[in-house]
Structure 1
Amino acid sequence: MYPTFLVYFAHVSNLYYTLPQLELAKRLVASSFADRVFLSNSGTEANEAAIKFARKFQRFSHPDEKQPPVEFIAFSNCFHGRTMGAVALTSKEHYRSPFEPVMPGVTFLEYGNVQAAKELIQSGKIAAVFVEPIQGEGGIYSATKEFLQALRTACDGTGSLLVFDEVQCGLGRTGHLWAHEAYGINPDIMTLAKPLAGGLPIGAVLVTERVAAAINYGDHGSTFAGGPLVCNAAVAVLDKISEPGFLASVTKKGKNFRELLVKKLGGNSHVREIRGAGLIIGIDLDVPASPLVDACQQSGLLVLTAGKGNVVRLVPPLTITEQELDHAAEILFNCLPVLDKTAKN
């Protein structure tokens, strides 16, 4: 007689599925526009998969054409990752140039330029349009509803796919579960990652059934993606942040924090704008932001630069307290004098 005990697996071959994987996929589908989920290990892997899915979808949709649409649109200040496909979709040249030639066929347009986007999509060459509803790395710029609706309409007219990269701005960061909910516009594909498993490595690609129908088993895969340990963590995270009270608290804390920052920092001559939604906030400066970021770090506050190096990016934990946000604002205020030294130099 062998003793009875529970076995918890960290990894299961992807020849099989596990219950945590299934539960996570069910929750993601139930809470979004999507019908199917592909799991990966990171945001850049999620975007690589989205590139492949878009190309395969176009071949599937144009079986009689020797050259179906294979090109992509991305936008100024965008960031989609550092692997060869994802970095090809990333606008900052210093990310791409050391590794060129990267994947060809990507055109960068001005973020928010409706006319340029419509004209290029209507050319019939575009497999997919990649766009962040709110740009994080790019400087905390929010899309307008007009812009996203124009992309949606143009893609519908030609059969191009609309991909929302919500790796940074999704999963409750804006006070909505998905950033695009604020606009009432759905994509064909959405990529997720950063907070989904509470610090464990995970990414996800959410797709409609129309897109999924073009993908065969084995077209894409990942040895370690969707493991039961990581998926269990992701289920717990998703259950927590999906609670209406939790999302309402993110909205409230973000609103109060932005108002406090405007009150404390808005009078400084180097602060041009404080913008964002929920708990993704940018402080736009007329001087480089690095000295302020360094001073904050020395004072116990971790923040980042964004944009062209002149934006302080604030993306605190969604569980942060009002008291901690007050303390953060005080540190930022006390560190502002370093900007005067930067301006003189």
Structure 2
Amino acid sequence: MATKITPFAISALLVVLSGSASAAPEGIASVYEDSFLVGTAIKSSDLTGNLPAKNSLPCSEFNALTAENAMKWQHIQPAPGQFNFAMADQLIALAQQCGARVIGHTLLWHQQTPAWVFEDEQGNPVSREVLLVRLREHIHTLVGRYKGKVYGWDVVNEALNEDGSLRDTPWRRILGDDFYVHAFRFAKEADPEAQLYYNDFNMYKPAKVAGAVKLVKQLGDAGIKVDAVGMQAHYSLFYPSLSDIEQSMKTLRNAGVRIAITELDISVLPLPDDAFSGADITQSFAAHPVYDPYVEGLPATQQHQLAELYQQLFALFLKYADSVDRVTFWGTTDADSWRNNWPIRGRTDHPLLFDRNGRPKAAYEAITRHID
């Protein structure tokens, strides 16, 4: 069967062969400004010194900024009552400099939360009452500090199993099945105007999407509106199918739930396990050269595959633009990406729109020049 050569395929190949993509006349956010916000995650090293310049990629290309780690509990409150806002303050300053909105990530998560949060001085689990006080103080202090400056918060992160049931975490074990209700209520108290989100990975799986819809409904019954469900989009050239992503978007839309595409990146590297998928940070595999084939750069064939998949994804996001509020990339350049170290440390992945030198790739061309 002959392969159809599309105009996009030709232009993308020319971009790859030339070594760089022709820059769009405007940043990505400007291209999609009539449809949804387009954001990026800012790594901690960019928030510890001088702010990135106003013409840097985060400012010139995006209109929504998320701290990759700087607002997580272990960084904000590493010890009881000891708050460290230095990096978070820098994020706010960067967003003001860039004219971008800030997305706060994240208030309640079972990962990257210090053990002291759940324990007393003897290392035993604290009571429900004590943990509720700690959660309220943390949320009120953090959200209250940035009231009116943070557009929306990932209030609860990754609370569901793959079958849509609630994860067994210290939050649930100590507070009970309504632990997430308290987090949303405290966030709403601290900043009534901020948008509130639930965020999770593998949100292309029907059972997990159904669990998220149930969670949102239960929050609604408690008088708390969830402004959007974040579909973490840690994808690969090998999974998931576009049809699965679209079906999940349909399910959320039909349930009256708005959508944020969060943490978007597309790994190009082979997987150590055919059944592997998702973004559970506890997963880890041994390194082997066969799983790291593009150390010297991404070949033209894979460049084209990545560009074509990004084009297809953004076409899908545009199709559901009436329900999609935001698309956020998890990192700005390939050098920034956590995919270089997960689920195998020390690999050379190429999952984003800009290469390790900050140059636009064929994928950038695909979503800025070919959006019809």
The TM-score with structure 1 as length reference comes to: 0.30
The TM-score with structure 2 as length reference comes to: 0.29
